[in-house]
Structure 1
Amino acid sequence: MADPVAAKSGFLCMYMSNHPDTLVSYVTYFGKVQGHVTTAKMESIDTKGMTLSYQTKAGPSSKKTVVVSFDPPLLGYEEVKPRLLAMKADADEQLGTVKAPQITSFRLPTAVLQTLIPFGFFIYTMISPEDDPSPVWTLGRFLRSAVGGDKTMYGICAFIGITHSLEALYGAYLSRKHRMPFSVTVAYLSAILMVGFPVTLDLRRRIQQARIDSIMKGQ
């Protein structure tokens, strides 16, 4: 099957020639080229990556090429623009040419509902008393016995606590990097400690979209 991105490589290379600073950022950050890159050009692109030529301060004789791979590979032509924008945002931020976008509000993703339901069952199972014959706790006692008893339940608790704590530390890093107000920081850290991954993933998506929006405004 023909590569859908390679089929439009010529057009994409011509289009990217209007964004030389972006290509320089790709070469410097993703190509891991040392020294001052003065110019860069996209020679070809396909679903697996792009080949870029570049020159440094040494002059025309310094012209070289570097291959920047896409991780993961592109699934189709429609993914080219968002991937290149995301890569430019990452490169510029890491190289210090732009500030990290500020996050000024808290958002609780709807995906937390998918986590809260099983978490609620876990809490119910954890607190189900062994010596209470009430049918309210029958399912809880059965579930606790099915997973291996109290020892397993405590192990699960410890795993959740450690995982969410590590995610909260990462959230604190993102909070500082993206200059969140104190109230927003508290809200995110509290949500991450309680819910974990869905909140962290949504925050990362918000940050990435803010980076892309910043680039689009600058174009």
Structure 2
Amino acid sequence: MHRANISKTQDPIVPHATRLVSYMNTHPETILTYAKYFGKVQNAISARMTDIDSDGFVVLAKESDGTENEVHIRFKNQLKSYDQVRPVLTEMAKEAEEALSLPSTTPPPMPSSNFTNIHTPFNPPDSSRFIRTLLIIIFCAVLAFYPSPAPEAIKTLRSIFGQELLRVFVLFVISCHIIETLIVIFVLAKRGENDLRTWALWLGTTMLVGHCWYLWKPKNKRFSE
């Protein structure tokens, strides 16, 4: 059967490959069924998907003696869109299970095509607000944790604000920023962000002054690309 020669940059499935592979590997029994039937690795004891495109997918099957076989399983028809992935994989699983007399499995739900590999450009905070917030945090941290003997100016300010209260405040801010940083990690990972500079900007800014809420704000117009 003739198939169109589609480059990786034009392939409709390739942009979603990382997310699809991750989702499919949450159902290893389905991948193992593919390997045994379509990949002809009858003695496989485990298998995982390593890649997928519009022509088919790659499975790494492991046998009981530790041998690993990489097999490329081709789709009957070249896929034209992301929406075709789930019904095709489901039909293939059903065919393999019936042929091998195996219990029925269902491939896991596919991630939404609108929520796969979404680039999240860095949305910078207002520079004056960033500097002001950072200076306040540094100021409070110095007052709270400057070792004794402290300069008279620090002692005077501590008597006004209270050193213990300042310590509680700084630790609270640090805890909030840690939580916000974890939120940023989760959101960027779920969106499939793969730009290292974008990761560094989001994580660095969030750890310093708290910034995760900007993930859901329109990108600042004066920094638009």
Q: TM-score, normalised by structure 1?
A: 0.43
| Higher helix proportion | 1
Q: TM-score, normalised by structure 2?
A: 0.42
Larger radius of gyration: 2
